[in-house]
Structure 1
Amino acid sequence: MNLALPAVAIRLEKTKGKPLQSRFGGQPMVPAGFTWPEHPDGHYLFVGQINFAELPDGPGRPTELPTSGLLSLFYGFDDDDVIFWRDENYFKAFYWPATSDLHELQAPHRWVTDSRGLLFQNSIDIPRHEELRKDWPVDFDALCDWLEALEKSGDLPRDYLLGRPSWDSLGYDPTPDLEEYPCSSHWRSLLTLQSHEVFNWCWQDGARLMAFVEDDKLRTKDFNRLLVDCG
């Protein structure tokens, strides 16, 4: 239990997401006056939105996440792979505390996928990679088969909020550190997403995307700066 961190598992529904519902794909809901973000080397594509009011209450709900409001997520894309996922402007997030006056915004490009609604489940996450700890209290090699089985069964989700990052091919902890960003506070995992063919997501050859936020900024609901790694 000392290894565990609170997390929120994300499950895809089979049905199309409603306008203000948490969902991946489709068109974003935005306030009046919002313009689609522009990238100098390509386009921003809509990842999806998290309606924090839909996160389940009760024991295990992470206290760091907002209890209301909508988080809208976009990522940089171009046909020639000029945009790199570790660029600071790769992943953009916009948070709106109120949802009553939001409207649907049509993308200014052709890369739009059908939406799928999301369901959430309060969960816990444990480190899935040896690189995530320097003081393992157990034999990590003995856990590997068990961790793999938990992922295959869905008990350890591959799409989730908070917890720790998880990856397919990296050999290092991707969490940003203070040496690389000396003016920052502590960074933590905000969102981990697997590649999904239905949304045309192929994070580094079909691996996973991991987005990080500063701990102090998360507590103040400031999502303006997210850093990303993929693998």
Structure 2
Amino acid sequence: MLYRAAKGTVSPVVRALWRPQVEGADNVPRQGGVLLASNHLSFIDSVVIPLVAPRQVRFLAKSDYFTGTGAKGTASRLWFETMGMIPVERDDSQAAAKSLELALRVLAAGDAFGIYPEGTRSRDGRLYRGHTGVAHLAMTAGVPVVPVGLIGTDKVQPVGDNRVHRERFTVRFGTPIDPAGRWSGVPAGRARRELTDEVMDAIARLSGQPRATAYNERPSTVA
């Protein structure tokens, strides 16, 4: 399998050069659909999590990464395809709905799907309010959510910097949160909000980030 070959080659290099601290990997179920919900500090987060997780984790990725030309474009496409990333048109008016549909397909197939409840990268280091898509996916698919706390990836590749710096980082996998049967009789909107807030509280404990009460909106000028 190309994914195993790529991870078997790249992961040892990452561990040797960056010496990441990985905690709680045993909290990630080895089989069945599961959501890995993480804070988001850097573009490299979607590379780091799949490389250190004990199973393949699929993320959505901008379709641009799959359509480049020349040697760089080909290398980008092969990397993202090999790691199981799923192309999505981020600026499509139906992007949010399509993203949820794609995620549900991954979970229904019994695979792990990575999601950033904040929606976009934090530019000031704070943990922003989570969007309820993570709860919608967990409740609809009937899968647990493993909270993930990333520390230091913003130093490895700061927002707006194309360079990768040799800085240590930490990945913490928290205790799974299983929504099964917990919100019986509760209105759907309230249930999704409560589960999302529980997930964000867990991420905050893992990452140690200060909290922001607002949503983190993506600047229109950020690629």
- The higher relative CO (CA closer than 8 Å, separation ≥ 6) is in 2
TM-score normalized with structure 2 length = 0.28
Higher helix residue share: 2
Higher strand residue share: 1
TM-score normalized with structure 1 length = 0.28
